[in-house]
Amino acid sequence: MKSYWFGDVEGRACKPASGDPGLLAGRLAMLAGSGNACIPDWRIAVRCGAVRDRAEYLERLREAALILAERNLEQILLVDSSGLIQMVRMLDQLDEVINLLTERAVEWHRATRPGFSRKRTLPARSNLIALIREDADEALAGLLDEIDRLRDRRSLLMNQVSRRAEEILPNCSALAGGLVAARLVSEAGGIRELAALPASSIQVLGARTALFSHLATGTPPPKHGIVYQHGRVHNARRGTRGRVARTLSAKLAIAARIDYHRKSADREFLLKADEAVRKAGRRE
């Protein structure tokens, strides 16, 4: 029997496939996966009674191909981490923009208020923007409001990033927190790429400058990159910090592989990994 997208042909007999474009798209995908499909010929399709003429053949095929391509695209974008990576990059860019704008606002304020100095100690729980806001120009005040709004956006986005990371990287997120997991993926370029990295690379992801300066001129090697942002690493004592970073990265490398291949949280692994990281932080 020969299988084509429009039907199955057995000798002289032929069974046309359903004419529904959605079903045809499914059939195309199935045939492509089966590996024993044949190159189609529109004349067989006409003889088969699946289509009337060449025009209809192309129209049907085009509709099915469009649906198939859309489905495949959706599939790729779904499992793909490109959405998360864009979110992380937007977050970093927002930080940059907020800092630049704040910097500029301070300069502006300083130019209009001779008595202003940054050195003044800030009252608890207040920030620079709020401080300037108290007696800013009208024009500046409006902009300060916008900066404030951007900050709110930023923290909103931060929560969204960790939530998304927890969805697509359950193991890495459980181990290192959603934000760190998302940053690692962003730096590596994707989940697949992260899962392919050795632990030692994960340990120094995000410490590019320090790593290459070490390789080029022999400065001390970086102990950690993005993983430093994890509480266990930056709260660790100086003497044990490298060991904690190393252990965490080793466990993250495994977690990334589970995330990529299995896509679900592994409780047993997470408990053991957590214990290992905790142990690494203990004093001998």
Partner 1 sequence: MIWRDGHLVSEGPGGVYGERMLQGFRVWDPKRSKLAALYHLGTEMELRSDHRVLYLGAANGTTVSHVADYVEVVYAVEIAPRPMQDLLVIAGSRKNIIPILADAGRPETYLPLVEDVDLIYQDVASPRQVSILIGNLCFLKEKGLAVLMLKPRSIDVTRDPGDVFSEAEREIGAGGLSILDQVSMNPYYPDHRAFLCRKE
Residue numbers of the site for partner 1 (CB under 8 A)?
Answer: 3-5, 28, 31-32, 35, 37-42, 58-59, 61-62, 65-66, 68-70, 72-73, 76-77, 80, 82
Q: Which is nearer to partner 1, 73 or 97 (CB)?
A: 73
Closest approach of Cβ 42 to partner 1, in Å?
A: 7
Q: Which is nearer to partner 1, 21 or 177 (CB)?
A: 21
| Alpha-carbon separation of residue 24 from 7, 54, 60, 130, 191 (angstroms) | 10, 17, 9, 61, 32
Residue entry with tokens 């190159």: 39
Report d(CA 237, CA 252) in Å as an integer: 21
Closest approach of Cβ 195 to partner 1, in Å?
A: 19
Closest approach of Cβ 193 to partner 1, in Å?
A: 16
Q: Which is nearer to partner 1, 228 or 260 (CB)?
A: 260
Report d(CA 140, CA 111) in Å as an integer: 12
Closest approach of Cβ 80 to partner 1, in Å?
A: 7
Q: Which is nearer to partner 1, 41 or 135 (CB)?
A: 41
Closest approach of Cβ 41 to partner 1, in Å?
A: 6
User: Which of helix, strand or coil describes residue 10?
Assistant: strand
Nearest to 112 by CA among 136, 131, 129, 78: 136
Q: Which is nearer to partner 1, 17 or 258 (CB)?
A: 17
Report d(CA 35, CA 31) in Å as an integer: 7
Alpha carbon 192 to its chain's center = 11
Sign of the Cα pseudo-torsion (130, 136, 138, 139, in order): negative
